[in-house]
Amino acid sequence: MILSINGIEFNYRSRDVLNDISFDVLPNEVLTILGPNGVGKTTLLKCINRIHHPRAGSILIEEEDIMKMDLLEVAKRVGYVPQNCEKGRLTAYDAILLGRRPHITWNTSDNDLKIVNAAIKRLQMDDLSMRYIDEMSGGELQKVSVARALVQEPKLMLLDEPTSSLDLKNQQEILRIIREVVKVHSVSAVMTMHDINTALRFSDKFVLLKEGKIYAAGGHEVITPESIRDVYGVDVHVETFNNSPFVIPV
């Protein structure tokens, strides 16, 4: 088990955001959290990454409680790609190198640079690597963020809307790379996403959140017209194409 979440509860001051959230993520698995805006998807990712502290419940990574780990230890195991990334006057190469921060004590080693270069090659970012990130488009910056999380060499990757500012080609490319990394290297990924069809194509498991609670969790079978109507309040048809379901709003 890479990630095991048991009975997480979280509130912002007086407002309950997450209630009794429990699910597991196995090695080589991509899990996507679905749900309408404001339901607590991002908050849940931040709890898993210890950016937020849940009021109750436990989060185990490789059977170890993350609340008992120091922050650097968490960062060595969990790579986080936030929705928004700041633009400093750094080259993409240096911005990605920052992902080695949990492993660096004083200065970078040749090995760190090699890992960064390999990630750049894997994400086909050779042309971008020496460009400054404050001159990049949102999509290019998103790729930099994903590469930065990759070079952390985490066991679990958390991606908050990883394709939100990407065009169709880059969306497919980033998700293909994430899936490839997950499948080849005993890593797991937890994503949040608004596009249900993209999620269906690239994910193994789903958690549907409604009003801060888990409405349904499981494989493709949890995506049904009823579940989508209950969670999003939208009527849809669910068709099958190439053995994979896809959702069409009515």
Partner 1 sequence: MIRIHLNDGEIPENYSKYIGRKITFIIAGIVLLFILLIISISVGAVGIPPLEVAQTLLGAGVSTQWDTIIWNIRFPQAISAIIAGAGLAVAGVAMQSILRNPLGSPFTLGISHAAAFGAAFAVIVLGTGTMHSSGADAVVIDNPYITTIIAFIFAMIATGVILIISRIRGASPEVMVLAGVAIGSLFTAGTMFLQYFADDTQLAAVVFWSFGDVARAHGTELILMGVATIICSIYFVMNMWNYNAIDAGDETAKGLGVNVQRVRLVGMVIASFLSAIIISFLGVIGFVGLVCPHMARRIVGDDHRFLIPATLVFGGVLLLASDTAARLILAPHILPVAILTAFLGAPVFIYLLIVGYRR
> Long-range contacts for 106-111 (Cβ within 8 Å, ≥24 apart)?
none
User: Rounded CA gap, 174 and 172, in Å?
Assistant: 6
User: Rounded CA gap, 193 and 34, in Å?
Assistant: 6
Residues that bind partner 1 (CB under 8 A): 46, 49-51, 70-76, 78-80, 82, 84-86, 88-91, 93-95, 98-99, 101-102, 104, 107, 110-111, 113-122, 129-130, 132, 134, 145, 148-155, 158, 181, 185-187
Q: Is 152 helix (H, G, I), strand (E, B) or coil?
A: coil
Give min distance, CB of 184 to partner 1, in A.
8
Closest to partner 1 by CB, 130 vs 248, is 130
User: Rounded CA gap, 235 and 229, in Å?
Assistant: 5
Give min distance, CB of 172 to partner 1, in A.
21
Closest to partner 1 by CB, 63 vs 70, is 70
Closest to partner 1 by CB, 185 vs 229, is 185
Enumerate residues 6+ apart whose C-beta is below 8 A from 48.
3, 5, 59, 66, 78, 156, 158, 190
Closest to partner 1 by CB, 70 vs 250, is 70
For tokens 């069409």, the residue is: 248
Give min distance, CB of 118 to partner 1, in A.
3
Give min distance, CB of 25 to partner 1, in A.
15
